[in-house]
Chain A
């Protein structure tokens, strides 16, 4: 029983690690607060589900989901860089459009994949022990993606991508068109997110238009937990941290459920977690320096009055 829960939790952590890698790419590497993720996650699921129920090869369906995610991210990038609309808003615009588009793709709000062929059923037919199929498949996929991502971030283009988030003025003065790099980065990040959505729908056995809600906060929570566990700016450890963070996040959620939180409460629990983690430096200052904290409070109160 306990082992089953643990295994299921790790499997979920692995699937969502792909989403977390996407969030890591945007929020941390190119320094772009991208909300497209909330739409590209269900986009990946919709594309996969529709292709699978229409008889497409599940691997091909998953690949197309990845491509669809890339396109969605690139659109956000184009809205931001070419039309000069703020990044946050650009993401919201794409995300909102994707809600309608996902409904169009699916033709309805929910597609079950019962008894359909998926990546997991195919692997089962290869003769692997049924109990561990998902775990093995996800470990392989996530590690593969991690190594490809690591390689990419150490490549010439990948380094330009990292520099774009770190010091845009500098990398432009070295001949890189930062607009195009941002579009590339957003595409890649949302491709990973859609891939995560594609695997989630095959794992859970359904795709749903609403399955993207809260994904950005989940991704952020995973990235932050990963950074606490593995403190480094070296890419190979940082991407490992993201995977570990995603698994720890799922474990924390599993514990919260065991403690009696309703599943519907989890989003607020996650959000509070992220607020605490991101606000920690400010909170610490607040609590350590009493006198200063009091002045801050006074200042805050008088600000509120005026």
Chain B
């Protein structure tokens, strides 16, 4: 369960380039919800995810995960609760380290690390089984350095790592934006498989309105630092891409402008 209460995020407070990126955000996401997030450029989607991850802390308001106050805890102190896939496929894995080493980093998510070897036979077998779920053949390449993988393969591995070690929340920020369309579809399929396995709460930012309606069970729309639409259930099922665009201009008085969304229409 994730709870944002009256959250404001202001960059460069008091300076000439002050930027009120999030304004009075109130959001409750029950355990197991899969929320897709859409909105124009600069709406504050990434900032919202960064507040959940701990990259930034809000100027006011609180962030709660599982009833615990996380508002000003740094990233590494909430890592046991939050898994994350970045937009840049290079960011989520250590390139010089092998696939199995990367996975072994992830299984210790948020827990103390000691002087025991990071890898052993049991772990390797577990990793082989998990990698097989991706259906990319990576289970036969445990000892390959990650730098040899393609962007899509790296993103799939990051996705797997983000779900290892039992996090509560999974954050996906345009994590297929840097991939070619075919690979992006593949990664989305894998997401479906990986997420079904656990009881993860997911926040996914996407620029693909169709995908936003097809994936998950709830969609929120952001504009200029506010949540302007929050739909689920029957209302969401009746919504189409066009009616979503209509709703956006109705609520914000503007057209939805997102450099990446426009390409999709």
Contacts and interface: CB of A to CB of B under 8 A. Distances in A.
A10 to B, nearest CB: 30
A163 B91 CA distance: 11
Contacts of B86: 169
B221 to A, nearest CB: 26
A155 B91 CA distance: 22
A156 B94 contact: no
Contacts of B158: 170
How many chain B residues sit at the interface, stated as a range, is: 35 or more
Interface stretch (B99-107, B187-195, B236-244): B99-107
B97 A152 contact: no
A204 interface: no
A223 to B, nearest CB: 15
A174 B110 contact: yes
A171 B105 contact: yes
Contacts of A54: none
B94 A157 contact: no
Given A154-B118, A160-B105, A175 B91 contact: no
Interface secondary structure of A, over-half rule: helix
Interface string B103-144: 011101111011111110000000000000000000000000
Given A155-B116, A160-B105, A160-B113, A173 B84 contact: yes
A166 B95 contact: yes
Contact of B104 (A152, A157, A159): A159
Given A154-B118, A155-B118, A156-B114, A174 B105 contact: yes
B58 interface: no
Contacts of A154: 117-119
A100 interface: no
Contacts of B83: 173
B79 interface: yes
Contact of B94 (A151, A158, A163, A177): A163
A233 B95 CA distance: 10
A155 B114 contact: yes
A298 interface: no
A167 B161 CA distance: 14
Contacts of B95: 166-167
Interface string A147-185: 000011011111110110011011111111110000000
A156 B115 contact: yes
B110 A163 contact: no
B80 interface: yes
Contact of A175 (B80, B117, B119): B80
Contacts of A151: 117
Interface in B39-89: 53, 74-77, 79-80, 82-84, 86
B97 A174 contact: no
A174 B106 contact: yes
Given A152-B115, A156-B114, A156-B118, A170 B80 contact: no
B114 A175 contact: no
Contacts of A175: 76-77, 79-80, 108-111
Contacts of A172: 75-76, 79
B92 A170 contact: yes
Contacts of B92: 167, 170
Contact of B96 (A152, A166, A169): A166
Nearest to A167: B94
Given A172-B79, A173-B84, A163 B105 contact: yes
Contacts of A158: 118
A157 B117 CA distance: 9
Contact of B79 (A152, A156, A174, A233): A174
Given A154-B118, A170-B91, A174-B109, A159 B79 contact: no
A173 B102 CA distance: 13
B83 to A, nearest CB: 8
B32 interface: no
B91 A169 contact: yes
25 contacts: A154-B118, A155-B114, A155-B115, A155-B117, A156-B117, A159-B97, A159-B118, A160-B105, A163-B94, A166-B94, A166-B97, A167-B93, A169-B91, A170-B93, A172-B76, A173-B83, A174-B106, A175-B77, A175-B79, A175-B80, A175-B110, A176-B79, A176-B113, A178-B76, A233-B96
Q: Please name the 9 residue pairs, one residue from A and one from B, whose CB atoms are nearest each other, closest first.
A: A175-B79, A175-B110, A166-B94, A156-B113, A167-B94, A159-B118, A163-B94, A155-B115, A233-B96
